[in-house]
Amino acid sequence: MDNLQKLESNIKYKFKDEALLRAALRHSSLSAKTSDSSNRSFDRLEFLGDRVLNLTVAEILYKNFPTESEGDLAHRYTALVCFETCSFVAKNVHLDKYLKVASGTSFDDLRILCDALEAVIGAMFLDGGLDPCRGFVDTHWKDLFLKPVTPPQDPKSMLQEMIQSKGGKLPEYVVMEKRGSEHNPVFSVSVYVDGWAPVKGVGQSRKAAEKDAAARLLELMGA
């Protein structure tokens, strides 16, 4: 059994067109400027898979929780499609073992795993339509659907609410450094809040670095 067959066993879906699965496993750090589709990254598939996942989760919630209000459904939906949940599922199917990335690329930023999982879902949709995507979500999100879920609070929102509740000025985020390649960048961002020394966060996107900085400052504040 080769690697692709092992992954197909993990996700419980056999691809008719293995090229789609291979494309879904190719991170943008390897992407070259070429018209050869075999060298493209999974970004386009991730774009499609994100929409398929959103629709599939919304449909399952609508059918399985007929007495819940729109607000309650939205609460569950947010928790089930967030990047923390997607990266959790990606780890459960051992997706990180099959991704093709440039040397030195780190999986510390869980968004890579989330994006890759959505790319696989996008590839699955193109290969077999919506039904196998429903089956995939039914199988790998099953326990998450059944238990009470709370969407994680964004640390930037938490910090802003805390500061505003005390009448302070909004936090200011400043990019201090951007290093690495275009396809594998590392951002350093500092957050400035009156009364506190600047706190630096890092991440593979500006948004991720801002969240990291906010989370570190909240920890210092004892929140």
Catalytic residues: 50, 118
Neighbours of 220 (CB within 10 A): 11
Between CA 176 and CA 173 the distance in angstroms is 9
Closest by Cα among 111, 127, 164 to 22: 127
Q: What's the DSSP call for residue 152? A: P
HSE-up (13 A, CA, CB side) for residue 167: 0
Q: What is the C-alpha to C-alpha distance for residues 177 and 120, in angstroms, rounded to an integer?
A: 32
Beta carbons within 10 angstroms of residue 113's beta carbon: 20
Q: Residue 40's CB: how many other CB atoms inside 10 A?
A: 17
Measured CA to CA in angstroms, residue 131 lies from 124, 126, 135, 136, 179 at distances of: 9, 11, 6, 9, 42
Task: Dihedral sign for Cα 24, 86, 8, 126, please.
Answer: negative
